[in-house]
Structure 1
Amino acid sequence: MTAVNPAPSVFGAVHLGYIVIESNRLADWRRFGTDAIGMHHDALSRDLMRFRLDDQECRFLIRRGSAEDVVATGWHIDDHVSFERIEARVRAHGVPVVHGSDEEAALRGVERLLRFPGPKGITQEIYTTPVTSAQPLRMLASGWVTGDSGMGHVAITSAKPTQLRGYFNTVFDARLTDYIDETISGVKLKIRFLRVNERHHSIAIAAVRGLPVDPVRTRVQHLNIQAASLDDVAQSYQRVHELGFDMALSVGQHTNDKELSYYARTPSGFEWEVGWNPLVVDETTWQPSTHQGISIWGHTPVGQTIVDKLGQFRLGVRSLARSENTVPALSGAGIPDD
C-alpha cells in the first residue's frame, strides 16, 4: 500500500503584515500612535491615516467608521506558491475568497490582496508583495522589530477557542507554542499561543475555562508591537502617562515568551502592548508546555475599579445571547486540544 504524502505546509512562510482599524476618533489615534507610542504617521485624507514601523508603506491603516475595533488583519505570504496554496485551501472548504481592488491594495501598501472571512468578524487578508517607501521614518521610537517574525501579534478572547485554533491551523498551519493558565478576580482563564513562524506567537486566544462567555467588547483584546530597545519601551510608557492615555497594565515580564512589556488602552478601547526581547522559537527543540500565570513580575492592573470589573461581568453575560462566528467550514473539527 502506497503511503499518502501529507499536504505541503505553509508554516514559516506566513507573517503578520498589517492591521486595519475602524474608528471615528482619528485625532486621538494620531496622538496615540505618534506622540505616545512613537510610530511614523502618514495622513492620507480626512478619513484615512497610516502608521509605519519600517520601510513598508503601511503597518496600520486607520479608517473612519463606527466599529472602534480591528476589522482586518493582513498576512504577508513569502511566495506565490504558498499564497496560492492558502487560497486553494480556503476555496476547497467552500469559503468565499474576494480579490481586493487596486485602491484597497494601495491603501494597505501591497501590490495585490485576497480576503476571506475570519473568526469574530475579523476579515483575513493575504498578500505577497509589500510596497516599500523611500521616505525616511519620522518617529520617536528608535525602531521596531519586524522582519522574518512579522510585526507582532494579535490577542483575541473567545467562547470557542478550540474552533479558533482549528481555523488558524487549517488556513496557515499554525502550531501550538504553549498555554498559560491564569486566574483573574476568581475567573479561570486558559490562553493558547499559536505561531506561524519563528515568533513565539502571532495569535493568542484567551478563553474563560468552563464557561462559554466572552468578557471583552472588542473583537481583539490587544495588539502587540516589538520595540527595538528597552529604552523605547520605557520612554513610550512615560509618554503614554504624560499625554493622559489610560494604562491597562504596568510594565512586567511574561512567563512564556519572556517579553518585557506594558499595555496601554487605545482610543478605540482595546489594548496595545509595547514589548521588547521575546524569545525566538527553535523548531528543532521546542515542546509545548503550560505556564501558571501570565507574568513573572509586574503587569499589574492600573486604575481598575469594581465598576470596571462589573462591566466586564455584564459583557460576559451578554455574550451568551450572541453567536460567535468561527467560520465553521475552516474551524478544523477534530484538532486536539488539552
Structure 2
Amino acid sequence: MAKVTELGYLGLSVSNLEAWRGYAAGIMGMQVVDDGEDDRIYLRMDRWHHRIVLHADGNDDLAYIGWRVAGPVELDELAEQLKNAGIPFEVASDADAAERRVLGLVKLHDPGGNPTEIFYGPQVDTSSPFHPGRPMFGKFVTEGQGLGHIIIREDDVEEATRFYRLLGLEGAVEYKFALPNGAVGTPVFMHCNDRHHSLAFGVGPMDKRINHLMIEYTHLDDLGYAHDLVRQQKIDVTLQIGKHSNDEALTFYCANPSGWLWEPGWGSRVAPAQQEHYLRDIFGHDNEVEGYGLDIPLKGLDVPA
C-alpha cells in the first residue's frame, strides 16, 4: 500500500500580502521568496523552494493541502487506491506541476471539501541556503517530518478518518474535553512520519477550512523570540504558552493576518506506537482571547496559590 510521507506544502488564500510578509518573515522567521508573480509570494522554511504559498485572492482561508509521496511509482499506486475506493481525482497537467514546483501530482477533495493534492519530487534549492526573515537561533523542524501540522474542518469525522487512513496516515482520538455547547470534544490526530501528528480534525464547529497551522523550531529561544514579537505588536493570543499532553510541545496560539491561528512550538515528541488519550494539557494554554474557534478547556490543572 502506497502512503503519503509528509505534509509537504500548503496554499493559503490571503487578502493582504504585505501584512503576511511582515508576519511570516519578521515574526515567525520564514524566508520570503518573490519570483516576480504579482498574485503570490512563497514562504521558505528549509532547502525546499517553498513550504507555503500565499495567494492574494482575498479569501483568507486554506486554499489547498499538499501531501508528499516518495516518487512516481507511489503516486501511481496511491491513485489506483483512490480509484478502487471510488474517490474521484484529477491528474494534474505538467503546467500545474510546474506551478507547484513539483514533478507530478493529482488533485482531489477530502470529505470535508478541502482541496487536496498528492505530489512527488519537490524542487529543492540546495544551492540557495535558507535565509530566515529575522535572526534565528536555530531552524525549523521539517526534515523527514514535513512543514508542521494543521487542524482542519471535517463535518464527518469517521468518513474523514477513513479517507486519511486510505492515504496512509495513522491515528485516532487523543483528547476528551467538554465543549462550550455541552458536547464532548474527541478530536482525531493523525501522523505519517515521526512528527507526532501532521493532521487533526473534530475540534468542533469551524467557520473556515482551517483552524490553525503549527510550526516547530529546533531552538527554544526562537519560540521565545516569536512570543516577544507577537506581544510587542499586540497580536491576539488565544491560548497562552503551555505544554500539550499529546505531543509534549511547548506552544502558544496567535492570530495571523487572515484571522485564523498559527501555533509556534518547540520540543515535540515523536508519535507513540500505541494510542493514548488525555483530558487536559500539562500546564498553561490558558484562554486569553476568544473568537478564533479554539475556545476549549485545554489548560492544565490549576496550581494552588
TM-score (norm 1): 0.79
Contact 2:2–2:78 (8 Å) recurs in 1: no
1:66 aligned onto 2:52? no
> How far off is 1:104 after superposition?
3.4
Q: 1:270-322 deviations in whole A, cap 9, x for unaligned?
A: 2111111211135xxx21122112x2111112233xxx49x999xxxxxxxxx
Q: 1:247 aligns with which of 231, 237, 261?
A: 237
Structure 2 unaligned spans of 5+: 296-305
1:150 aligned onto 2:153? no
The residue correspondences of 1:32-181 to structure 2 (distance < 5 A) are 32-44=23-35, 45-133=37-125, 134-139=127-132, 140=134, 141=136, 142-170=138-166, 172-176=167-171, 178-181=173-176
Distance across 2 between alignment mates of 1:273 and 1:143: 16
Q: 2:177 aligns with which of 179, 182, 191?
A: 182
> How far off is 1:51 after superposition?
0.3
Q: 1:129-171 deviations in whole A, cap 9, x for unaligned?
A: 110122232212331011112221111243321111111012x
Contact 2:197–2:271 (8 Å) recurs in 1: no
Corresponding residue for residue 201 of structure 1: 197
Structure 1 unaligned spans of 5+: 1-7, 209-213, 314-338
1:298 aligned onto 2:298? no
Q: 1:23-45 deviations in whole A, cap 9, x for unaligned?
A: 11111111110111111111232
User: Letter of the aligned partner of 2:210 in structure 1?
Assistant: V
> How far off is 1:186 after superposition?
5.8
Distance across 2 between alignment mates of 1:223 and 1:48: 19
SS at match of 1:289: coil
Corresponding residue for residue 266 of structure 2: 276
Contact 2:13–2:62 (8 Å) recurs in 1: yes
Contact 1:160–1:207 (8 Å) recurs in 2: no
Q: 1:95-131 deviations in whole A, cap 9, x for unaligned?
A: 3322334443334332222211123322111111110
User: Letter of the aligned partner of 2:46 in structure 1?
Assistant: D
Distance across 2 between alignment mates of 1:116 and 1:123: 6
Q: Equivalent pairs: percent with the same residue?
A: 25
> How far off is 1:178 after superposition?
4.7
SS at match of 1:258: coil
> How far off is 1:9 after superposition?
5.0
1:28 aligned onto 2:14? no
> How far off is 1:82 after superposition?
2.0
- CA RMSD in angstroms, aligned pairs only: 2.1
Q: How many residues align?
A: 289
Contact 2:223–2:264 (8 Å) recurs in 1: yes
- Most deviating of 87-96 and 57-66: 87-96
Query: 1:91 and 1:9, CA in 2 relative to 1: closer, same or farther beyond 3 A?
Result: closer
Query: 1:234 and 1:219, CA in 2 relative to 1: closer, same or farther beyond 3 A?
Result: same
User: Letter of the aligned partner of 2:17 in structure 1?
Assistant: L
The one of the two structures with greater contact order (alpha-carbon pairs below 8 A, sep at least 6) is: 1
TM-score (norm 2): 0.87
SS at match of 2:176: strand
Distance across 1 between alignment mates of 2:65 and 2:276: 27
Query: 1:244 and 1:46, CA in 2 relative to 1: closer, same or farther beyond 3 A?
Result: farther
Distance across 2 between alignment mates of 1:300 and 1:116: 37
User: Letter of the aligned partner of 1:224 in structure 2?
Assistant: M
Contact 1:177–1:201 (8 Å) recurs in 2: no
Q: 1:289 aligns with which of 276, 295, 305?
A: 276
